[in-house]
Structure 1
Amino acid sequence: MTTPEHPAQHTDIRLATAADVPAVRAVTDAAYHHYIERIGRVPSPMEADHEADVAAGFVYVTGDPVVGLLVLVPRPYEGRLLLESIAVHPDAAGQGVGRRLLTFADDHARALGLIEIRLYTNALMWENQKIYPRYGYEFVERRVDGPYDRIHYRKRLQDR
């Protein structure tokens, strides 16, 4: 079904259901596990309450079986969408899954009438610091949030 929240060009990306929770957990764990040793702790997406995020309507998945996902938290009172997590299973790396998910996030934010997307990444996940600027994200700040040293980014959206 095509709705403003689910534009036709993203028919391969859908809202996750309760049945997807094990796959959401598995893809997230596979995507983030290799960072544990580097950052010295479990990355926060691996500790997320996936069941609650799915129930709240924040999780979008792609693939059958699921190979990628986004956790998108609308913050309309701030005029922005928080891209809380993006994960692509390592077996699907290099196939454009991440690019499609990031494009979906842009279109989803626009459909909700939001003007900005915010995200953050661990300062030791340096690969991400190379990726996000290529997709229009700009550095906002580096900030310690609890036990995590994070780089915060934003992308200001304009109508296409």
Structure 2
Amino acid sequence: MSGATIRLARPGEAPLLAAIVEQAYAHYVPAIGRRPAPMDDDYAARIAAGEAWVLEAEGGLAGLLVLEARPGHLWLDNIAVDPARQHAGTGRRLMRFVAEEALRRGLPEIRLLTNALMTRNLDFYRRLGFMELERREEKGFRRVFLAIPAARLAA
């Protein structure tokens, strides 16, 4: 993916982000019985807040991140990869950026959650070295909370 860049999402790209998320998460709807929360996020608001990042490659958007600075950690609220670009290192590239961004901001840890039924996501995070913090039900979702030191993910 030479020539690919990660940058803040631009005003007007919200529909593109929503489309990537819709495609990336659609296969989970039958598994969890409803739309995953990222499918209904307000991407225009995320862009306006400076929380949405995109991976631009080959003239299009390959993936996105939603990042929130929180006390002591960087919260990865969403990572989504265009299904046509999955299994090509796109997710790992985005995760490396998350680690670099956490360190740039002086935040030593990255945290996230995923649905307990999203086993592919859980496997991906565990392969990267994330450790499970807790499981709990919130808003009707069975959520798994995970964390990793930013320096470990950046290595």
More strand by share: 2
TM-score (norm: length of structure 1): 0.89
Counterpart in the other structure of 2:62:
67
| Within-5 A mapping of 1:137-156 | 137-156=130-149
CA distance in 1 between counterparts of 2:80 and 2:19 reads 10
What is the root-mean-square deviation in Å for CA atoms of aligned residues? 1.5
CA distance in 2 between counterparts of 1:135 and 1:126 reads 14
Counterpart in the other structure of 2:77:
84
Contact 2:109 2:149 in 1 (8 A): yes
Counterpart in the other structure of 2:94:
101
The unaligned stretches of length 5 or more in structure 2 are: none
| Within-5 A mapping of 1:1-160 | 12-63=5-56, 64-75=59-70, 78-158=71-151
Number of aligned positions between the proteins: 149
Which residue identity does 2:69 align to in structure 1? Answer: P
Which residue identity does 2:123 align to in structure 1? Answer: K
4+ residue segments displaced more than 4 Å: none
CA distance in 2 between counterparts of 1:158 and 1:94 reads 24
The one-character-per-residue Cα deviations of 1:64-123 (angstroms, maximum 9, x if unpaired) are 311200000111xx2101000000011111111100000000000000000111001100
CA distance in 1 between counterparts of 2:100 and 2:132 reads 21
SS in 2 for 1:134: helix
Contact 2:99 2:151 in 1 (8 A): no
Contact 2:53 2:64 in 1 (8 A): yes
SS in 1 for 2:38: helix
CA distance in 2 between counterparts of 1:109 and 1:12 reads 18
Contact 2:4 2:55 in 1 (8 A): no
